[in-house]
Amino acid sequence: MTGKAKPKKHTAKELAAKLDAATTNRGGGKAGLADRTGKEKGGHAKLECPLCKVTAPDMKSMQIHHEARHPKIPFDDSKLNNLHSTVEAESSKPKPGIRGSLKN
């Protein structure tokens, strides 16, 4: 028989997953704004389209974007802006924990 305070229909694994999802920063909302905009180390976006300034994480995604949005202009990967090489990371910021959370 379980104790009065413990929920009877949830497993420990499910409760731990809910706690992890509620307390870990996944990069959305205001917490991930700097990462999405690329203010520090380019964020997730590595490449920037020179024509419309749209960002993409890799070459394949940028090629798909270019074929969809700029079909009349030939794709040239040498003209792409590499955001990770132009922006330097700040070393004074604390590094995230095990799963991306700054909480201990």
Confidence of residue 71 (pLDDT cuts 50, 70, 90): very high
C-alpha–C-alpha distance, residues 35 and 27, integer Å: 7
Average pLDDT for 49-76: 91
Domain presence at residue 75: yes
Confidence of residue 47 (pLDDT cuts 50, 70, 90): confident
Rg (CA), the chain: 21
- Residue 37, Cα to own-chain centre: how many angstroms? 10
Average pLDDT for 51-65: 90
Q: What is the pLDDT of residues 72-93, one digit of tens each?
A: 999 998 999 887 776 555 556 6
Let me know: does 59 contact 47? Beta carbons within 8 Å.
yes
The more confidently predicted of residues 83 and 47 is 47
Domain presence at residue 76: yes
C-alpha–C-alpha distance, residues 98 and 29, integer Å: 20
Domain presence at residue 57: yes
Domain presence at residue 30: no
Domain presence at residue 61: yes
Question: What pTM was computed for the model?
Answer: 0.46
The number of distinct structural domains making up the chain is 1
* pLDDT the model gives residue 30: 73
Element (H, E) at 81: strand 81-82
C-alpha–C-alpha distance, residues 14 and 83, integer Å: 39
Domain of 59, in residue numbers: 45-88
Domain presence at residue 50: yes
Tokens of 52: 């419309």
Please measure the distance between the N-terminal and C-terminal CA atoms of the chain and give it in whole angstroms: 33
